[in-house]
Amino acid sequence: MEYMTESTDRSPGHILCCECGVPISPNPANICVACLRSKVDISQGIPKQVSISFCKQCQRYFQPPGTWVQCALESRELLALCLKKIKAPLSKVGQTTKISVQWVFQKECNCFFPQVMNGAILQQVFVVDYVVQSQMCGDCHRVEAKDFWKAVIQVRQKTSHKKTFYYLEQLILKYGMHQNTLRIKEIHDGLDFYYSSKQHAQKMVEFLQCTVPCRYKASQRLISQDIHSNTYNYKSTFSVEIVPICKDNVVCLSPKLAQSLGNMNQICVCIRVTSAIHLIDPNTLQVADIDGSTFWSHPFNSLCHPKQLEEFIVMECSIVRDVKRNAGAGMISKKHTLGEVWVQKTSEMNTDKQYFCRTHLGHLLNPGDLVLGFDLANCNLNDEHVNKMNSERVPDVVLIKKSYDRTKRQRRRNWKLKELARDRENMDTDDERQYQDFLEDLEEDEAIRKNVNIYRDSTIPVESDTDDEGAPRISLAEMLEDLHISQDATGEEGASMMT
């Protein structure tokens, strides 16, 4: 007896496809993948081309129903946004379905959608093209309209000098507080900041309170309302008032305030305005800091206008070594030296009239030097605190700063500052002079300079650090001490404080 062995090409454990007869592994449909793909299109109903909206102004993508989100290329956020735009028939897919997406630079993705047919799982690859369409978002549309704003901050200072505003401008640039503004408008006595939301304005007000001594009032006006949805549209206004004191102002404190500051004299000189008012007593070198709340509780004004500065020549100068301190006196400045000087006005050189005073500039003055100061003896002072003082305690002259040929310093200044982009009128001669005074203050005062970003001006050559008349001039290398060099947006080399 012979046994006949049946010849077959099938491997053990394989079956033939019921359509084409190709050996396949057993599956519930008993059909190969090629035949199953020819009969079933699992990508039916899934769009092969999807459009997404992109705002070129703010670089954001539109996420329905009404949100604009910031997404970088090849980021998870952009990938999730693209997947949400594909409306796949997930009801046909079981809970074990997996969606795998490969993102390429051309904004194409390969999507794998498995579908179960009689227990068999089919996987298909197809390409979905995303077309990026330009569409301006609502926020940018309102910005371009230029007349739309939800909140405005009106920053004012009742003074003739803009040194505090120049300093505040540099702080705003350093910390990027101008990025959310719709527009910045400069007027005669201040700046107006316009915002698209009240929250941005409130953040700016908090920043101002931390950087300069000020106070503010808030108000709002109803623009429109919807009684059906109970929604209201308001425009908010924040009125910020900065203390009316600038650097180099001579002030007269109230007796109560002077006593609370360590029994210092009422006549003081403002040497700096940052987050507080920094005062020095030219008779004793006693210093004090007055914050905004203290100032508004005991207000005081400047006695003289900056244009009232007069030029004096130093006839005699001597250093005061032993200074008598009263009980409870405050801190003494270590950066200044107390001196007793005899001065004469340069406009009265044909007379023999001289003035005696004490000054905090004893370390800078020598006989023959020129110095700027206020003549209080021949000035009509209209101040309630001065009128109540004993005339013997009011000095004849208060010296403010040494006088140099500042045009040479200006020509040799090899650094510069950035400015806010704002709507402004043409800068007159007085504004230009005040801005140059602020630049000189940065050169002379390290405490202010450390809070400001300075940038190298390549158009000015590097020259000697001493003027022809012996006036000290700080070089850029000295200004950049303890600073690090950075590159700004225009490719210039800039310097900013290390934080």
Using one digit for the tens of pLDDT, what is the confidence trace for 264-314? 899 999 999 999 999 999 999 999 999 999 999 999 999 987 888 999 999
Summarised one tens digit per residue, pLDDT across range 173-226 is 999 998 888 889 988 888 999 998 899 999 999 999 999 999 999 999 998 888
pLDDT band, very low/low/confident/very high, at 475 (cuts 50, 70, 90)? low
- Residue of 327, 323, 329 whose CA lies nearest to 262: 329
Report the percent of the chain where pLDDT is more than 70: 78
Query: Worst-scoring range by mean pLDDT, 127-131, 342-346, 375-379?
Result: 127-131
pTM of the full structure = 0.69
pLDDT band, very low/low/confident/very high, at 397 (cuts 50, 70, 90)? very high
Summarised one tens digit per residue, pLDDT across range 79-89 is 888 878 776 55
Q: What's the CA angle centered on 311, arms 309 and 317, to 5 degrees?
A: 120
Whether pLDDT at 437 is above 80: yes
Instruction: Please report, for the chain, the start and end positions of each structural domain, with discontinuous segments joined by +.
Output: 13-40, 43-138, 142-242, 249-403
Query: In the prediction, which pLDDT does 425 show?
Result: 65
CB under 8 Å to 321, separation ≥6 — which residues? none
Question: Which is more confident, 87 or 338?
Answer: 338
Q: Say if residues 364 and 370 touch (Cβ distance below 8 Å).
A: no
pLDDT band, very low/low/confident/very high, at 109 (cuts 50, 70, 90)? very low
CB under 8 Å to 459, separation ≥6 — which residues? none
Residue 236 phi/psi, 5-degree rounding, is -105, 145
pLDDT band, very low/low/confident/very high, at 124 (cuts 50, 70, 90)? low
Rounded CA gap, 334 and 331, in Å? 9
Whether pLDDT at 323 is above 80: no
Query: Worst-scoring range by mean pLDDT, 145-149, 223-227, 456-460, 492-496?
Result: 492-496
pLDDT band, very low/low/confident/very high, at 410 (cuts 50, 70, 90)? confident
CA 382 from centre of chain: 39
Query: In the prediction, which pLDDT does 271 show?
Result: 92
Query: In the prediction, which pLDDT does 253 show?
Result: 94
Rounded CA gap, 12 and 105, in Å? 46
Rounded CA gap, 40 and 20, in Å? 16
Rounded CA gap, 144 and 155, in Å? 24
Rounded CA gap, 371 and 248, in Å? 13
How many of the other CB atoms lie within 10 Å of CB of 312? 26
Q: Say if residues 40 and 115 touch (Cβ distance below 8 Å).
A: yes
Summarised one tens digit per residue, pLDDT across range 12-54 is 678 888 888 888 888 777 778 778 777 766 666 677 778 888 8
Alpha helix (H) residue ranges in 176-291:
198-211, 255-260
pLDDT band, very low/low/confident/very high, at 499 (cuts 50, 70, 90)? very low
